[in-house]
Amino acid sequence: MKLLIDECVDERLRLLFPGHDCQTARFAKLAGLKNGQLLDAAETAGFEVIVTVDREIHHQQNLSGRRLSILLICGRTNRLSDLKELLPAALGLECIKPGTVVMIGLPSSGITIA
């Protein structure tokens, strides 16, 4: 699966998704793009999932009809150590359907699909 790590996420997170093509927004030359522009560019580049900590993105963007999905990681903080604790729940990425948001961690206690 082709994953894009949003620029608001520690770039080292890309190393924690074994078996997936995981790139940062900076590496993919998508840094600086915001919300709708980022989603459009990520789809054009063939990404299937955007990994972010932006808790508002699913309220700001309409994902219906999109070919990609969003993995929203909600840790106690956005530090790598806190996000890393939640990744075991995120590694079953094959269940993510296009046009959905999968939320892992706080405020939910598990996985919520919106």
| pTM tops 0.75, yes or no | yes
Each domain of the chain, given as residue ranges in start order, spans 2-113
Asked whether the beta carbons of 75 and 82 are under 8 A apart, the reply is: yes
Q: Give the integer Cα–Cα distance in Å for 26 and 32.
A: 8
pLDDT tens figures, 72-111: 999 889 999 999 988 887 777 778 899 998 888 875 544 4
The pLDDT of residue 92 is 72
Architecture of domain 2-113 in CATH?
Answer: 3-Layer(aba) Sandwich (3.40)
Residue-averaged pLDDT of the chain = 86
Residue 63 has pLDDT above 90, yes or no: no
